[in-house]
Amino acid sequence: MKSLSDLEAKAARASTKGVPPALRDPARRALVAWITTAVQHQMPLNEALRRIRDGEAAEAIGRAAIAPQLADPNGPAGKAACSAGCAFCCILTGEDGGTITQIEARRLHEALMAFKGQPDGRQWTQKGCPSLDPETRLCRVYEARPMICRSYVSSDVSACETIAGGMPAEGTGVLGAQTLYLAVLTLSRNLLKGITRVPTFSLARVAAGAVDGDSLEDALSEAQHSPRELDDEIARQAVVLKR
């Protein structure tokens, strides 16, 4: 591969393995469009590869998709029962601790280093997100929160509490932008196979590492997922897709 144009052509035919069928075409169109924009802006090839690897491309696509969903008063976000300090959705009960990309992990770690050694959400409840203030239950790094936090919505607070206790319940889920974001990330992994690995990380472990004083390198090493985690996460999110 010698140029961004080569990458653009490769993306147009990249494997969609692991991508839910309904999202294969949207994810491909979105990633190809991102690369086309990079071509137009004369982005160096190595820079484009880095941004795709670190999840910046997927994040940009996800944020563009989520903006109208969050703004729609008649959609799931507009009807959400979510409120400041509720925080049941911040009890990280999943096996992977929340799937995030490298750019999100770096941003989260940097933001949380300001709270190194301070009490955190784990003092509220064992699996509480370390990003939480244990007294107010507010996210202390709200602007640095990853896509999974931005996209989760609920129409029933009691359902969130039930799920936080380890039992299934109706009324919660993620906006469609989250699943598109994961689909683009999966497609990115397929696109860069043989070139570089597209890693994902545990939100819970990255946050805990930062608050506990671990270096970025050590936190990422401890929190890095196996490749299978992304496949499992997109399969789970496709099931609970809200929109």
Query: Residue 240 pLDDT > 70, yes or no?
Result: no
pLDDT at 239: 66
Q: Give the total residue count for the chain.
A: 243
Query: Residue 236 pLDDT > 60, yes or no?
Result: yes
pTM of the model: 0.92
The count of structural domains within the chain is 1
Q: Which of 102, 216, 198, 98 is nearest to 148 (CA)?
A: 98
pLDDT at 242: 41
Percentage of the residues of the chain whose pLDDT score is greater than 70: 98
Instruction: Answer for the pair 87, 120: CB distance below 8 angstroms, yes or no.
Output: no
- What is the Cα–Cα distance from 177 to 113, expressed in whole angstroms? 29
Instruction: Answer for the pair 136, 85: CB distance below 8 angstroms, yes or no.
Output: yes
Q: Tell me the backbone φ, ψ of residue 202, rounded to 5 degrees.
A: -85, 120
Beta bridge partners of 91: 128
Torsion of CA 54, 56, 57, 62, to 10 degrees: 120
> pLDDT of 119-139, one tens digit each?
999 999 999 999 999 999 999
Q: Please give the residue range of the domain that contains residue 96.
A: 4-239
Instruction: Answer for the pair 70, 77: CB distance below 8 angstroms, yes or no.
Output: yes
Tell me the Cα Rg of the chain: 18
Instruction: For residue 46, give the amino acid letter.
Output: N
Kindly state the DSSP code that residue 171 receives in the 8-state scheme.
S
Query: Residue 233 pLDDT > 60, yes or no?
Result: yes
Mean pLDDT of the chain: 92
